[in-house]
Structure 1
Amino acid sequence: MYENRVVITGLGLITPIGTGIDKFWQNAVKGENGVRPLQIFDATEFRTKTGGEVLDFDPTQFLSSEEIENMGRSSQFAVAATRMAIKDSGLDLSKENLFRIGISMGTTMGEPQILEQGVKIKYKTGDANQIPSNLPRQYPCASIPANIARVFGIKGPHIMIPTACAAGNYAIGYAFDLIQQNKIEAAIVGGSDPFSGIAFTGFNRLLATTPDIVRPFDKNRAGMAVSEGSGILILERLDKALARGAHIYAEISGYGLGCDAFKMTIPDPTGSGGIIALRRSIKNSGITGEDIDYICAHGTGTGENDKSETLIVKEVLGEKKARSTPISSLKSMMGHTMGAASAIEAAACALMIKHGIALPTINYSEPDPECDLDYIPNQAREMKLETVISNAYAFAGNTSSIVLRKFKG
């Protein structure tokens, strides 16, 4: 068993309800709805006409004109959120051994807008040679951590883990292991995804998207909303963070992964993969189900996910503890930010622990007999938060849960 403890010392957030920690937190506590009529393209012919766009992001505040020209929107998000997180952490990179800092990122679509841009040029002109030469190299999803490394001079290991909607948790877990094993001392971790016409069209064809707003766990829920954003966390080995007097948001005490391999787009109705991940996260963190104060749900607002997730919590915690443990879905406010979702939610959990406030599930009006737990409906709740769990599930059966705890020394 490795003795190195891992703590969160910095956050950076770009979301449909606000860019920056303060704006995000204020709007999240108020229960702001970030799922709105789309501005990015004309959705007239689609069943769904709403999504979660980031409307207040100005890349010129964070990147040079040359960097903007040579990065896709996902990389721009990730670099900007990293800049916020490093500043928030107080980490002075000029004094750090940059070979001992790693980067672990997650995504669903990578840089889909680059592909979409190239395809549009090809079909509009009929000539692939009209595609700008700097465009193709911006497309690979590995360019996202590479751009972070390039901008900030990070020389340690960097990796992209594209496990779709669970990718943020996977990225956090991977960096957690590297720090525990003393392979690195700190890490830039998280996820990033821009709004994708490909994803929007695909989820529409699957009839998985809501025609208006997202209503997780509600009887009238009608689907998820495609969104965009980025969440970055600075993880550090505890002794290093303490030595430099860093502010500590929370401690990551463990995580668990699973895979139900049921169907490509539908979770196992018995919740097998989520049960495995949640049980492993509890065991690996050295806690019991009774220690859990709050669960940040995957909570997409689809019929299958919300019913399955309710079942998972009951199966692992037992009926009595499940009913007394508050759960909420932040996707009710932001929609589904894809590979960024669980990274944003992990950052939100750290803020919830700091402020002693559990964020709400908004748009909740009619209980569903198959989703019968406490989903913190519509209003944030002040409460003791010492141990929280964040779930994230993805296509192909990828499941994950991470455990964050209040740092007590």
Structure 2
Amino acid sequence: MTGAAPARVVVTGMGVVSSIALGVTEYLSALRAGRCGAAPVSLFDTSGFAHANGHQVADYDYAARLRRTDPAEWGRAALFAATAARMAVDDAHLSDRALQQRQGLVSIGTTDGGSHELDLLVAQEIAGGHDAMDGRLVRQVPAGGLSVAVARELGLTRVEAMTVATACSAGNHAIGDGLDALRSGEVEYALCGGADALCRRNFTGFYRLGLVAPDRCRPFDAERAGLLTGEGAGVLLLEEREAARARGARIHAEVLGYATNCDAYHQLTPNQAGIRRCMRLALDNARVDPADVDLISAHGTGTRTNDAVECGAIAEVFGGSPPPTVGLKGMLGHTMGAASALAGIASVLAIGHGFIPPTVNHGRTDPECAVDCVPNTAVAADPRVVQNNGFAFAGNNAVVVFGRDRRSGRDAA
């Protein structure tokens, strides 16, 4: 690559809402323990389905965690996003006032936006007609509310608030937005990630495609039978590295680079060539050789085709001995727009705490998925560079590469 190196961007704060943990400290413990959040879904009516497990976030007190947000005014996914953003800012030891005085970006990825509230509206219409519909719920449906809720919770006015709707790769797209904006000097910080809530419409779609597992998600396993839909949010606070150091920030990791592409191969079926190209572009953008990657956080949906295609692309990029390749959806479920954001936070935690999280629910690796998936039990390790994959329907691919901060006493890349 030629030209001057771009400004370096680091992660200084993280927030997590998931079926296995609330907050980054609990998330770290859950990842190390290989905790699985699968359980029967209670958020919507599952009668008529032969099986209806999912990864549902346990009830929590929104009002106790949020300072400016009225839970009654926002949808479930927006509240997840606002909560995770609040956690990320607190984790970064930044005040709201400090952020309010800076130019920033809020970019939140999603698949379903306010579709949980849309489900409720449909149920109301069926029960009582249009006149019975709740105007409050109508206002909670638009996906743009996810990023606006973050800005509202933190009192931010000097921001661009975007919601990225590239489905299951949207969290990585949002992180890439933040990286670009900081590299170019357009903003002084970025709050990036993804959020989605369980909804009956999404569950039904995957169920009718035959992609919902009967009990648990088993990435890369020979007996894998599909995904389980999930929900939650992951938000990362990104800053320019020298500015973060100047304020004495704790640097969790560096965002070394990313890439996106759209191979537009098929509405549902992934394309190995498109995925391969996206991974290579991300490594080039990060100025990292494949041999330098210590861990891959795979998209790893647990479906027959997706896992095999992704592993095939990994083999093309990394050769016959790729780095450990883990699928976190066995623990988290497929959290849609939040998936690659939550996996990105797991990648950062692996770098900072010296371990590799496991691929749980694993029995025997499928020969078509010839990777070391670190089955069932986390292992101590020293990952310095982690590649985080995110792939979506219609060929929307996004890959982010994280690395250890090079002046933290341990070299990255």
Quote how far apart the aligned CAs of 1:232 are: 0.6
Cα distance between partner residues in 1 of 2:160 and 2:202: 30
Cα distance between partner residues in 1 of 2:139 and 2:397: 31
Cα distance between partner residues in 2 of 1:135 and 1:272: 42
Cα distance between partner residues in 1 of 2:341 and 2:99: 24
Quote how far apart the aligned CAs of 1:367 are: 2.1
1:322-352 per-position Cα deviation (integer Å, ceiling 9, x unaligned):
2xx1010110111100000000111111111
Cα distance between partner residues in 2 of 1:21 and 1:150: 22
Q: Where does structure 1 lack aligned partners over 5 or more consecutive residues?
A: none
- CA distance change for structure 1 residues 66 and 104 in 2, over 3 Å: closer, same or farther? closer
- Among 5, 24, 27, the residue aligned to 2:27: 24
Quote how far apart the aligned CAs of 1:3 are: 2.9
- Among 368, 371, 392, the residue aligned to 1:370: 368
Aligned twin of 1:382: 380
TM-score, structure 2 as length reference: 0.95
Aligned twin of 2:350: 352
TM-score, structure 1 as length reference: 0.96
User: Contact 2:351–2:384 (CA<8 Å) still a contact in 1?
Assistant: yes
Cα distance between partner residues in 1 of 2:301 and 2:192: 23
Cα distance between partner residues in 2 of 1:42 and 1:129: 23
Aligned twin of 1:401: 399
1:340-387 per-position Cα deviation (integer Å, ceiling 9, x unaligned):
000011111111111010000011112211112111011101111100
Deviates more, 1:53-62 or 1:195-204: 53-62
| SS class of match (2:131) | helix
1:52-105 per-position Cα deviation (integer Å, ceiling 9, x unaligned):
001153212223697111100011111111111100001123134545121011
1:209-248 per-position Cα deviation (integer Å, ceiling 9, x unaligned):
1010111100000000000000010000111100110000
Quote how far apart the aligned CAs of 1:153 are: 1.9
Quote how far apart the aligned CAs of 1:47 are: 3.2
- Among 124, 132, 135, the residue aligned to 2:134: 132
Which amino acid letter does the alignment assign opposite residue 332 of structure 1?
A: G
- Alignment pair present for 1:78 and 2:76: no
Aligned twin of 1:278: 279
- Alignment pair present for 1:169 and 2:172: yes
| SS class of match (2:186) | coil
Q: Where does structure 2 lack aligned partners over 5 or more consecutive residues?
A: 408-413
- CA distance change for structure 1 residues 95 and 363 in 2, over 3 Å: closer, same or farther? closer
Aligned twin of 2:151: 149
Which amino acid letter does the alignment assign opposite residue 112 of structure 2?
A: M
CA RMSD of aligned residues (A): 1.4
Aligned twin of 1:317: 318
Cα distance between partner residues in 2 of 1:12 and 1:266: 32
- Alignment pair present for 1:105 and 2:103: no
Cα distance between partner residues in 1 of 2:133 and 2:67: 23
User: Contact 2:100–2:155 (CA<8 Å) still a contact in 1?
Assistant: no
Which amino acid letter does the alignment assign opposite residue 139 of structure 2?
A: R
Quote how far apart the aligned CAs of 1:114 are: 1.4
Cα distance between partner residues in 2 of 1:35 and 1:89: 30
> How many aligned residue pairs are there?
403
Which amino acid letter does the alignment assign opposite residue 306 of structure 2?
A: N
Aligned twin of 2:293: 292
- Among 43, 52, 55, the residue aligned to 2:55: 52
Cα distance between partner residues in 2 of 1:66 and 1:404: 32
